[in-house]
Amino acid sequence: PIERLLPRLRQQSRCESIELRAFSRRDVAALLEREIGRPAPTDLRSELFARTEGVPLLVRERIRLRTERDELRHPENVRRCGVTLPARALDLIRRPLDRLSPACASLVGAAAVLGREFQGTLAAAVAEVERGTAVDLLDEAAAAGVIEAAETPGVWHFTHALFQEIALQGIAGGARARLHLRAAAEIERRHREDPAFVAELAHHHHEALVVGDPERAFECARCAAERE
């Protein structure tokens, strides 16, 4: 209903569209200071901003949860306790993923294995989806607000790190390992002689150990370490 209502509202002379932006690091620090009553430790500010990326709803829910648990009485313990998010906030993040078609959710899961940013053609290969079909499925995920096109043609990224995280959580361990193995095979096929991808290969082979080749995983890890 709101998608039908918004165009009508925009036609009204008295209606003004206001873009909601994410909080900056300074905004998050100010909110924490107001809640704690003194400047928050750097670790707490950094962890909270990194986890929420400044999304106001997630920032508010995380501060509310910490306040209810009386954790902000000792904010210096943030690194030991970690920054988690309440279930209802994660449920809101999960909703757009739940509305995806099964085929689209499968492709998004394969993309999540590749990282926050990914090539559409690589995700299609890992998901074993024909490229033309993948284009439509990526458009579906973009319309749901889960991913968006990057500046580089053919490259996409998750609009929030939590979309990638939750998409990964929805894949069973064995299936996730097989996706990592296919990712490694496809990257090796495309970039066999390019050492710049060895760390990426080491990661995928490590995550695929239960179904992959331990010797190849070790070789990639050693090459990646030597490259560092």
**Sheet order of strands, 117-119 included:** 117-119, 155-158, 147-149
**Residues 6 or more apart in contact with residue 8 via CB below 8 angstroms:** none
The closest of 87, 34, 35, 30 to 58, measured between CA atoms, is 87
Q: What is the DSSP letter of 150?
A: -
pTM: 0.75
155-158/117-119 β-pairing: antiparallel
pLDDT tens figures, 155-210: 999 998 889 989 998 899 999 999 999 999 999 999 877 888 999 999 999 999 99
Six token digits for residue 11:
């036609």
Element (H, E) at 148: strand 147-149
Does the pLDDT value for residue 108 go beyond 80? yes
